[in-house]
């Protein structure tokens, strides 16, 4: 079973994603910011990371850079609802530093689950039957 790390400072978004991923059959852990996420990755490497961009402590861009440096084989999905700057700008930065897919909030959970499945298969994880 693939292990997915969900990183978002918004507890409601985190809960929605964690629940959807668990219902879809994935093992899921969660973190509320980039620093906590990196600690979790060092303790138990995830097979895929879903990360918000704007977070306290360590933002998603910095976290993605570190994940790419320490675990270049792990696919990353970046999500953002924007802030002072439009979400598309933040997500463009995330792509430039290595995010495999990007989603602007609000997004379709079905589309996100499709991207998760696609990226895991692309990186050698097959669904268990």
Radius of gyration of the chain (CA): 13
Q: Which helix (H) or strand (E) holds 12?
A: helix 11-23
**Planar angle of CA 31, 37, 41, nearest 5 degrees:** 125
Contact 88, 104 (CB under 8 A): yes
Average pLDDT across the chain, whole number? 92
How does pLDDT run across 18-53, given as a tens digit for each residue?
999 999 999 999 999 999 999 999 999 999 999 999
Residue 127 pLDDT: 64
Residue 128 pLDDT: 52
User: What confidence category does residue 129 fall into, taking pLDDT thresholds of 50, 70 and 90?
Assistant: very low
Residue 56 pLDDT: 82
Question: In the chain, what are the domain boundaries?
Answer: 3-122
How does pLDDT run across 55-114, given as a tens digit for each residue?
888 888 999 999 999 999 999 999 998 777 788 888 888 999 999 999 999 999 999 999
Taking the C-alpha atoms of residue 96 and residue 90, their distance in angstroms, rounded to an integer, is 10
Q: Which CATH superfamily is domain 3-122 in?
A: Response regulator (3.40.50.2300)
pTM for this structure? 0.92
Contact 61, 84 (CB under 8 A): no
Closest CA to 21 of 41, 48, 42, 44: 48
């Amino acid at each position: 079973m693939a292990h997915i790390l969900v990183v978002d400072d918004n507890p409601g978004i985190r809960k929605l994603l964690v629940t959807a991923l668990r219902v879809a059959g994935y093992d899921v852990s969660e973190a509320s910011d980039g620093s906590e996420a990196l600690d979790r990755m060092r303790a138990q490497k995830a097979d895929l990371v879903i990360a918000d961009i704007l977070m306290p402590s360590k933002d998603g861009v910095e976290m993605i850079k570190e994940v790419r440096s320490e675990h270049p084989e792990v696919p990353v999905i970046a999500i953002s609802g924007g802030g002072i700057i439009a979400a598309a700008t933040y997500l463009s930065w995330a792509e430039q530093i290595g995010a495999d897919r990007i989603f602007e909030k609000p997004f379709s959970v079905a589309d996100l689950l499709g991207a998760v499945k696609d990226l895991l298969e692309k990186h050698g994880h097959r669904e268990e039957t």
